[in-house]
Amino acid sequence: MQCVWVLSEQYYPEQTSTGRLITQTAEGLAAHFCTRVISGPPTDRLVRTDAPRYETRNRVEIYRCHGTVLDKNRLLGRIVNMVTQSLSIFFKALGAVKPGDAVLVVTNPPLLPFIALLVCLFKRAKLVLLIHDVYPEALVASGILDAKSAAVALLNWLHRQLYRRADRIVTLGRDMSALVNQRLAQTPQAALAPKICCIPHWAEIEDVFPTDRANNPLLQKLGIADKFVVLYAGNLGRTHAIEALADAATQLHAEPIHFLVLGPGVKRKWLHTQVSERQLHNVTLLPMLPADQINDALNACDAGLILFVPGMAGISVPSRMYNQLAAAKPIIGMCDATSELGLVLAEEEIGWVIAPNDANGLAKCIRFAAQHPDLCQNMGQRAQAVVQQKYTFKQADEAYRRLFAQLFNANS
């Protein structure tokens, strides 16, 4: 029996967006194919937790490997985790994957796809590369590597080989597809049948839906129900323009506007310091909330914020935008206009696009939105309708089913 093997650092019980999305993807595939997962050690909110080394959950066989779970906000900890977990996954997969199977691997952490490629070469299996972030571009945009460095040149060459040898490449947006196409065009494989399949992430519409703002428990608890609230919910990472949020909050500190920030990340400590030093009483910084409070959190605002540093078009597509739209909230996106986020907001008229690093423009846009609540409400209603029409798990699941059916039929 041919099986789909999912190789991922994060899987259930992990409740970050990556963990939830990969879990849903695998469980959807399990309705059609033999599906097995090899993951890193069990975590919840990126903290080690208890779970059996092996279990079957919702028809998916789960094999959890050993590895370190150090603080991912520290670069050294992230690297050590990547190496220990990827090697553990490699040895498990090498003994488990059979000829004719298919391996679905996520690009995070960046070593894991190469581990999966080796397994597929040794075991004569098909490789499906699911790109969450494009490397090494993500490392350049985050300031970790210099674009002109020898390390970037080497990584570019390695990723061209990875793309060339993958049987299918799953992208999350049109901008990402264009970037991957550009890289594939530099390889001898350009003349082969297209291998790129764009499957966007989805909104968790069963769990995220609009609720009455007047009775939102989080707004009431924080005492900001009478403010115009903008919500940043997600990772405060190196590729996110948290500096622009602090600058905009500084400009708007005397106005009835409040910034609610939820989530972990390497820039969280910096933002906490800025809130204290600048006395930004219009900013509330909270940790990531439990899963059963996510809907309340996404509804605890009048508009959502997604902020990218310059140069991120094609490199990453924020999964958070779909749930924010499902809560019937418009989005203020600091992003390139050609990015998937920028395209969706403009095409569907469900938010605003601000140029990266334009903190003044961000402040002006938030002030405009606060002055036009009816426009925000209308945009939010359109946003919810767009999600239900275009960005559901059912649509993504069907796309993954077709992809693997084609791969297995090609083998027969």
Identify the structural domains of the chain with CATH numbers, from first to last.
3-202+392-411 (3.40.50.2000), 213-390 (3.40.50.2000)
- Say if residue 166's pLDDT is above 70: yes
Given this model, what pLDDT does residue 412 score? 56
- Report the candidate in 218, 202, 293, 291 with the shortest Cα–Cα distance to residue 258: 218
pLDDT of residue 291: 82
What is the tens place of the pLDDT at every residue in 236-255?
999 999 999 999 999 999 99
List strand residue ranges (DSSP E) for 256-387, in order.
Answer: 257-262, 283-286, 303-307, 331-334, 351-354
Contacts of 369 (CB under 8 A, 6+ apart): 228, 230, 302, 303, 330, 332, 352, 375, 376
Model confidence pLDDT, tens digit, residues 248-275: 999 999 999 999 999 999 999 999 999 9
CA distances from 246 to 185, 249, 359 (A): 41, 5, 9
| pLDDT score for 185 | 81
CB of 202 closer than 8 Å to CB of 396: yes
- Residue 129: burial class (beta carbons within 10 Å; 0-12, 13-18, 19+): buried
Question: What does the alpha-carbon distance between residue 289 and residue 344 come to, in Å, rounded to a whole number?
Answer: 27
pLDDT averaged over every residue in the chain: 95
The CA distance from 118 to 190, in Å, is: 22
Measure Cα distances from 193 to 33, 105, 131, 190, 272 in Å: 24, 21, 19, 8, 50
pLDDT tens for 314-339 read 999 999 999 999 999 999 999 999 99
* pLDDT tens-place string over residues 191-235: 444 799 999 999 999 999 999 999 999 999 999 999 999 999 999
- CA pair distance 129, 309, nearest whole angstrom: 25
Check whether 376 has a pLDDT greater than 60: yes
**Distance (Å) of CA 381 to CA 99, 261, 361:** 49, 23, 25
Mean pLDDT of 330-355: 98
Q: Is the dihedral of CA 348, 129, 140, 181 positive or negative?
A: negative
Q: Of 46 and 8, which is predicted with more confidence?
A: 8
CA separation for the pair 55, 47 (Å, rounded): 20
- Rounded distance, CA 184 to CA 139, Å? 20
Instruction: Report the pLDDT value the prediction gives residue 187, as an integer from 0 to 100.
Output: 61
